[in-house]
């Protein structure tokens, strides 16, 4: 499903993220978060350029249970899930190149 980000919710998080056969980068975001809007184009580009990772977005206002379960205290928080576990956490807005560096080992 390369080319676009997907939206995940509390209800389908396990199915779409934890059971995925690919690493999943989940962007914990909210509509009122300026830095979240700032990194959104970079995440869209990463989704389009790297089919070896799934890029998902979870709105914390609409889906507070998942954010609370994973201890997301500030946004944007990007968690990479692999094999049902958090493999990497990236906090804060960064340029696309910095996000891609942080994702080394997950993207080619």
Residues tagged active-site: 33, 36
Measured CA to CA, the distance from residue 85 to residue 81 in angstroms comes to 5
The three-class DSSP label of residue 15 is helix
Q: Cite the beta strand spans of the chain per DSSP E.
A: 6-7, 24-29, 54-59, 77-82, 85-91
Measured CA to CA, the distance from residue 46 to residue 2 in angstroms comes to 9
């Amino acid at each position: 499903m390369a080319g676009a980000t997907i939206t995940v919710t509390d209800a389908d998080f396990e199915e779409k993220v934890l059971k995925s056969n690919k690493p999943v980068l989940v962007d914990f975001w909210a509509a009122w978060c300026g830095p979240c809007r700032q990194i959104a184009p970079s995440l869209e580009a990463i989704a389009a350029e790297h089919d070896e990772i799934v890029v998902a977005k979870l709105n914390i206002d609409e889906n507070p249970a998942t954010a609370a379960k994973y201890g997301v205290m500030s946004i944007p928080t990007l968690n990479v899930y692999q094999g049902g576990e958090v493999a990497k956490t990236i906090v804060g807005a960064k340029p696309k190149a910095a996000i891609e560096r942080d994702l080394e080992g997950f993207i080619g």
